[in-house]
A and B are shown apart, each in its own frame.
Chain A
Amino acid sequence: MNAPITLDARTEDLATRERLVVIGNGMAGCRAVEEILARDPARYAITIFGAEPRVNYNRIMLSPVLAGEKSFADIVINDEAWYADNAITLVAGDPVESIDRATQTVIARSGRVEPYDRLLIATGSDPFIIPVPGADLAGVVTFRDLDDVEKMLAAAGQGGNAVVIGGGLLGLEAAHGLSLRGMNVTVIHLMPTLMERQLDEAAGYLLKSELEARGQTILTGADTQEILGCDGHVAAVRLKDGREIAADIVVMAVGIRPATALARRAGLDVERGILVDDDMVTSDPAILAVGECVQHRGACYGLVAPLWDMCRSLADAATGTPSGYAGSVTSTKLKVSGIDLFSAGDFSGGEGTEDIVMRDAARGLYKRVVVRDNRLVGAVLYGDTADGNWYFDLLRKGEDIGPIREALIFGQAFAQGGALADPSAAVAALSDEAEVCGCNGVSKGKVVATIKAGACSLDAVRSQCKASASCGSCTGLVESLLALTLGDGVASGPRTLCKCTSFTHDDVRRLILERQLKAIPQIMQELHWSTPDGCASCRPALNYYLLCAWPGEYVDDQRSRFVNERLHANIQKDGTYSVVPRMWGGVTTPDELRAIADAADKYGARMVKVTGGQRIDLFGIHKQDLPAIWGDLNAAGMVSGHAYGKSLRTVKTCVGSEWCRFGTQDSTGLGIAIERMSWGSWMPHKFKIAVSGCPRNCAEATIKDFGVVCVDSGYELHVGGNGGIKVRATDLLCKVGTEEEALEMCAAFIQLYREQAHYLERTAPWIERVGLDHVKVALDEPEAVRALAARFRFSQLFMQDDPWAKRVAGEHADLHQHIAEVRPLQVANKEFAQ
């Protein structure tokens, strides 16, 4: 605090001081002044110019003001008395328009001229307005200052629809405030994940679900095309995909840009922000700059913590004891009441980093810390952010976390609990009464007793005392107890789906249905995946399980598809693709053959080969040419043969009774009917069918997943054959009398396999695992067969769109195109061809 001095003495004193003029009465400008005063209260005579007609307030608390949780008085940092007490002249509502560096004066809008010895630019940032038609309509506001908040409050008073463009920190806080004020809020976000700069996919998904549960509509991957008006006032927002969303107010919160216009006009060095050195000095030694308007070592900041760091270094230098600003590590908290969200540092993973993930679905918890070289480098917390500051502290100090690494994810209380830092010691230290499994109320003592009574595997414990048999979140604890109690005598359980989870394929499939899990990030959260976004084993498996469980509802995730299923062609060793059009039942026509021949010529197929499944394969097609060759084949009436998929491949047939002197039934006709029914269906693995017209079995039906052998009296249906590495002849499932029955049983068997087999398990190993009797029993009752077949036919309603035709029509065009091509000669001329 300043020593009390008389006004006269101070006026006289002020005249002898250096004159410090501050442009910007915001958080950075005022904080810098506070820091200078704390070091040397008598050094400067200070004048502060502010564009807003009010005292300095805490801008980051505007969100609670909008939400009605605070008033403006609550967020004032420095009231008028502070300016008076410190003899600061505040020029509010009169922005500086120019800087004359030659005469060291600033000129305000009113014409006021103020001389300076040192000038501090703290102009902050401007909201970025996306340049779409209608952005200048009345009712389009930004979220930057109190005036913006007042505009939003006025709109909210009328009720109606609010659209917030931007699903970052600021946008979501604006959406929350408007929603609490009673408006019907839609958030439009360009990227697929909310707050993608701060959150990973898993946390972004949880946040989106929570906001939707609160009644907001969240549109991700949504690109604004135009803001539509009516009588000069905003009326709706139109997206590039054609959707229109009614709007009485539109809040643009897509980002901020450093406010550098004044500095640029004054001739200071400016890139994205005003360039400053470590002492916050600009290219003019008399001029300092601080806050969101600056660029320091290539970085611009839009958060408050770095401002405080900058202001300290600035004040140190401005009072003769430079300390040097070295940049800031940032952390983020979302100020939406009831949602706890924290992120800090670099959580992008990578070389030498290790993710430690903890999920607790029952409590809606997701925690992820990223460790590199035994140092914490990043953290994302959702649901419980109590340890956020502790992690942030570890991160900034770069301390060796080796000694507490095993317990790090459990938080400060656990990790710093001395002996408890070893998780197995922590488990050993639990009392016998301590509850291990919350779902089934099983204590540690009971689990240990169960183990001692002979349960020596996780599955045995689950079935005998129910611990970890429900949600599974205590699986780790039960495994620790097994290890503690039995030492090396633990029996390894059934194989888990992959290393990301402790659940088996069967567990996951059951829980998807029981808990109505409908998205990959949701499964990973609810089932406590130990990795942030899975791996190349579990992602395709989960994608298939969801497709199978929720036909017509689940949207296929292309990112979780193997390349062949993403590009609807077979990748070859040289990176080109092979293309196989469907040939129903192996029957073709001269026109189709001509079209195939033309396509082979046109796209330079280097080999044309007849496949084992009675089709024609064109080799050596380039990724970029795929949509074009498909278009040509489509035009001749052919569709994708799915020769690339975990799906129905072919239905191989012999000529049957129509031509063959031995044929007993129309095997070709039945094969075509089966293929028409089952093409396009995704399966756990590839699936082959054949129909032979007599027991001579020319179509080799007894080494197929489903084989029909026609006999005089009807049709023998065979299952579980395989001609691959391990040849397996089919088992006879049953015999039916009509084509209709054969088709119905085929559909039912396929659906049973689709619903019960593990991903990447062919029918042969599946049947050997579950037993032929299991399959026969499941297909014994006509009612059960009808139900299975009906589920298959329902699912097929959504599957029998030719994927080639969709690509030809432009779907996922990016998959087939280079983003650009570099041509060195033009590059040398600094040109670049798109």
Chain B
Amino acid sequence: MIGDWLDIGPVDQIAPGTARTLAVQGGEEIAIFHTLDHTFHALVNRCPHKRGPLSQGIVHGSVVTCPLHNWQISLRSGEAQGDDKGCVPVVPLRVDAGRIYLLREAVIPHKAA
């Protein structure tokens, strides 16, 4: 299992109700969210609308509101909610023994894999 998952550190580095980012050299930045319900989600850090940094939005329930134009993006599916249409890639994430793991193949840019 460990070989397929990237350990990106302990859960307590992200306060509940906030997000932090993971820079990926040669790839797209990833936003990791910690909801007020204490679940963790990872999305590519760009809104499907105008590429706003989702990590900077307000987190409520399992939705983040994009800081640029208030699109609401589901943290589970990456899909825009309501009447808006669009989707941002979700990065599979799991939490084990207090650490956050991302699926390696979803993080690493394809050309480098």
Interface residues of A (CB under 8 A from B): 190-193, 196-197, 200-201, 272, 347-351, 353, 355, 531-536, 539-540, 558-564, 566-567, 571, 573-575, 814, 817-825, 827-828, 830, 832, 834
Contacts and interface: CB of A to CB of B under 8 A. Distances in A.
Contacts of A191: 12, 16, 38
- Which among A347, A350, A817, A828 has the greatest number of chain B C-beta atoms within 10 A? A350
Contact of B36 (A350, A351, A533, A822): A533
Contact of B57 (A196, A563, A832): A563
B85 interface: no
Interface in B53-96: 53, 56-62, 65, 67-68, 70, 72, 74-77, 79
Interface in B17-70: 17-18, 20-27, 29, 32, 35-39, 50-53, 56-62, 65, 67-68, 70
Contacts of B38: 191, 193, 196-197, 200, 348
Contacts of A539: 58, 60
- Which among A201, A819, A823 has the greatest number of chain B C-beta atoms within 10 A? A819
B57 to A, nearest CB: 7
A54 B12 CA distance: 40
A827 B21 contact: no
Interface of B: 3, 6-9, 12-18, 20-27, 29, 32, 35-39, 50-53, 56-62, 65, 67-68, 70, 72, 74-77, 79, 97, 104, 107-109, 112-113
From DSSP, what is the main secondary structure of chain A's interface residues? loop
Contacts of A540: 58
A348 B38 CA distance: 7
Contacts of B97: 272
Contacts of B16: 191-193, 196, 201, 559
A559 B18 contact: yes
A2 to B, nearest CB: 44
A193 B109 CA distance: 36
Nearest to B45: A575
B36 A818 contact: no
Contact of A571 (B8, B61, B67, B79): B67
B21 A566 contact: no
B62 to A, nearest CB: 4
A823 B68 CA distance: 29
19 contacts: A190-B12, A191-B16, A192-B16, A193-B38, A200-B36, A200-B38, A201-B37, A347-B37, A350-B39, A533-B36, A535-B65, A561-B58, A571-B56, A575-B51, A819-B9, A819-B20, A819-B32, A822-B25, A827-B108
A556 to B, nearest CB: 13
A533 B24 contact: no
A736 B27 CA distance: 62
A827 B7 CA distance: 11
Contacts of B3: 830
A492 to B, nearest CB: 21
B23 A818 contact: yes
Contacts of B57: 536, 563
Nearest to A272: B97
- Which among A535, A563, A564, A832 has the greatest number of chain B C-beta atoms within 10 A? A563
A825 B68 CA distance: 34
A824 B112 contact: yes
B13 A814 contact: yes
A571 B47 CA distance: 14
A348 B60 contact: no
Contacts of A531: 60-61
A558 B20 CA distance: 14
A579 B26 CA distance: 28
Given A819-B20, A822-B6, A814 B15 contact: yes
Given A814-B13, A814-B15, A824-B109, A832 B21 contact: no
Contacts of B67: 562-564, 571
A535 B53 CA distance: 18
B20 to A, nearest CB: 5
A186 to B, nearest CB: 20
Contacts of A350: 39, 62, 74-76
A824 B58 contact: no
- Which among B14, B24, B26, B109 has the greatest number of chain A C-beta atoms within 10 A? B24
Given A201-B36, A814-B13, 9 more contacts: A193-B38, A348-B37, A348-B62, A536-B70, A559-B16, A563-B57, A824-B25, A827-B104, A832-B8
Contacts of B39: 348-350
B68 A818 contact: no
Contacts of A830: 3
Contacts of B25: 821-824
B24 A834 contact: no
Nearest to B75: A350
Given A349-B62, A531-B61, A820 B22 contact: yes
A532 B58 contact: no
Given A350-B39, A827-B104, A536 B12 contact: no
B68 A573 contact: yes
- Which among A201, A349, A531, A539 has the greatest number of chain B C-beta atoms within 10 A? A349
